[in-house]
Structure 1
Amino acid sequence: MNFDADFEECHHVNNMESKINDYFAVPHLSWEQQDRIACADARLREKNYPKAIETLWNMYEALHRREQSSTVGRYVLIRIAHINIYNEDYIAARDNLSFIMQFPNTIGNPLLHLRLGQVQDKLGNEKRAVDELARAFIMDGKRVFDLEDRRLLEIPLRALNEPMDSDWNHYEGQDWEVTK
């Protein structure tokens, strides 16, 4: 048994959960919805990505149409997109993230722009990756890049002609809390 690999996988899953909760308001979920999230998380930890995604899609599809485009639907879909990334299904991740961007009060969420930039980079769409990663950086600075591949931060810094040690003190940022 490879404990280092298991620890690393657990760390990534916990990082995903923590980042989602930092950048997206956790909606009020029914007991059944909480159980489905817990089931998907268990399947994710088992690396059973297709079952985790299936569980979450079933949850999304069970929502009323109005709820699908609400914070509950967005919360479920961002979790699906993260699993797509773990499963290296970057096309599905891009499609899910792009769909989420159509939800009210979503454009401008730093984590969403980070993930969309990350998958655009993986798909070789350099201009789109730079655009999305720069948006994430401008919205939240280096914080959104914490615990991420350092190369992702280098992309917008290079495009914005900023040194790696820049902290953007001159930039006051903006209030992206509405996108949470």
Structure 2
Amino acid sequence: MDLQLPDGIYTQIVELCKSGDALVKESEYLFAKEKYVSALRLVPEKHQDWEAATWIYVAIGDVNLKLDDKEKALKCFINAVQCPKGLGNPYIHLRLGQLYFEQNYFEKAADELTRAYMGAGIEIFMEDDPKYLEFLETKINI
């Protein structure tokens, strides 16, 4: 079910996320995270019902990765995959796979990385450490 946020709330969320994105470009990750968290707080309860929560969780997860907080990043991507259009999103599955790999959950990592590959092809792996693609190549035929 796709719920629509009221226009005013949606506009506030978009503005906060744009501010967060600008801060990320300036490597101001903690301030960016504050903007994204503020945006998430505007999403009504039961975040998993709102598409906006999907991309906000992804943004917070990415910032947590930049801050080298893999545990919080994993929680964000787990939340994102449970939100509308999260399951099947190759980027979310890529990040989940990478984070599971880093925590030595290799079976889960293989599953998530396979989902990313099936959804977006080999290109999705090109901007990240080659170890993830090398690992996947030991699990499936690419």
Q: TM-score range by the shorter chain?
A: 0.7 to 0.9
Other-structure match for 2:24: 44
Matching of residue 63 in structure 1 with residue 43 in structure 2: yes
Structure 1 gaps of 5+ residues are 1-26, 167-180
Of the candidates 113, 126, 140, which is equivalent to residue 146 of structure 1?
126
Shift of residue 76 of structure 1? Answer: 1.0
Shift of residue 63 of structure 1? Answer: 2.1
Identity among equivalent pairs (%) = 24
Other-structure match for 1:114: 94
Aligned length: 136
Instruction: State the distance in 2 between where 1:40 and 1:109 align.
Output: 22
Report the residue type matching 2:93 in the other structure: H
Q: CA RMSD in A?
A: 2.3
Instruction: State the distance in 1 between where 2:64 and 2:81 align.
Output: 16
Instruction: State the distance in 2 between where 1:62 and 1:156 align.
Output: 38
Report the residue type matching 1:89 in the other structure: D
Other-structure match for 2:66: 86
Contact conserved, 1:110 with 1:140, CA < 8 A, in 2? yes
Instruction: Report the TM-score when normalising by structure 2.
Output: 0.82
Please identify the structure whose Cα radius of gyration is greater: 1
> Secondary structure at 1:159's aligned position in 2?
coil
1:121-144 deviation digits (Å, cap 9, x = unpaired): 222222221221122112222122
Contact conserved, 2:47 with 2:83, CA < 8 A, in 1? no
Structure 2 gaps of 5+ residues are none
Contact conserved, 2:91 with 2:124, CA < 8 A, in 1? yes
Instruction: Report the TM-score when normalising by structure 1.
Output: 0.66
Instruction: State the distance in 2 between where 1:66 and 1:127 align.
Output: 29
When residues 55 and 68 of structure 1 are mapped into structure 2, their CA distance, relative to the original with a 3 A threshold, is farther
Shift of residue 92 of structure 1? Answer: 0.5
